Structure 1
Amino acid sequence: MQRRGVLGLIAGAAAALGTAGAAVAADKVFTGLVAGVGAGGYDVVAYQSENAAIPGDPAIEASHEGVRYRFASARNRDAFRADPQKYLPHYGGYCAWAVSQGYTAKGDPEAWTVVDGRLYLNYSQSVRAQWSQDIAGNVAKADANWPAVLD
């Protein structure tokens, strides 16, 4: 079976199990300015462990579902490998506000929020401010739209 077909089956199975599209095919993940690198090359573990947006080191990478992620330290890479779902940007790294409105837009790794242990990226700092006015409501709307907005 081709890679795309296998990843599609994985994403479909995850949705069927009630994970609201937690597993998204690699070709449906926003990778930012660096082709094939998730979260624009930023360390997705550092958002929670350091409470900061920290660019990852190209020499310290891990792959998950066909997408490479970079980390500031081997310790962060190992934490990601142990539990990638804990650290992956929600909605495939697309802007959480856009998904709540029924479309996709790029996620900026500098415009981020961690809520209830989940990483959300937004298009810009100003969009993040707008999204933050009703995080719970916007998450509920985005969850209802995800992953159908990818079609």
Structure 2
Amino acid sequence: MRIHKILVIALLLVTSLNASAQSIWTIGPMLHVNFGGGQKKSVSFAIETAYWNVNKWPYSVDFGIEFDRKKTRFYSEFQTGIGVAGISAGPVFQVGKGSGAKLGLQVTSWVNYYLGFDYRMIFLRNEKRMGVGTYVKVPIATHGLESSSSGHSHWDSDWD
């Protein structure tokens, strides 16, 4: 019963956010368990930021840096979704001791609002890795918020 209340609140927040803003930035930490590609399982930590345009058709671009044992990945993905679920794909650049530099493709599917879960595949030269992860994102509306008819805020209209 408690999870139902949380889902209803999250749905209301998504609806109100879509109704009041046209663009949103999100930022937050990510934690992944990576496997496949003939390598040992590893746990990686990332920080990711994304820009969402939610006017009419929602689309986004994200940027992240991820630390995985002796490797660092830089990535960017183009995303689309319905607010609580979506898909994304884009380039990934990995550098590391012993493995050199590799350029590849990262494809991700996710479900979220503030707390999210994802499944991703990373295709690098002669290597295919998969990962499951969780993350927390903090949304920040950047423009398109409702304002007065004169086009600017009157938070101080009773100041004098």
Larger Rg: 2
Structure number having the greater strand percentage = 2
TM-score tier (shorter): under 0.3
TM-score by length of 1: 0.27
Structure number having the greater helix percentage = 1
Relative contact order higher in (CA < 8 Å, ≥ 6 apart): 2
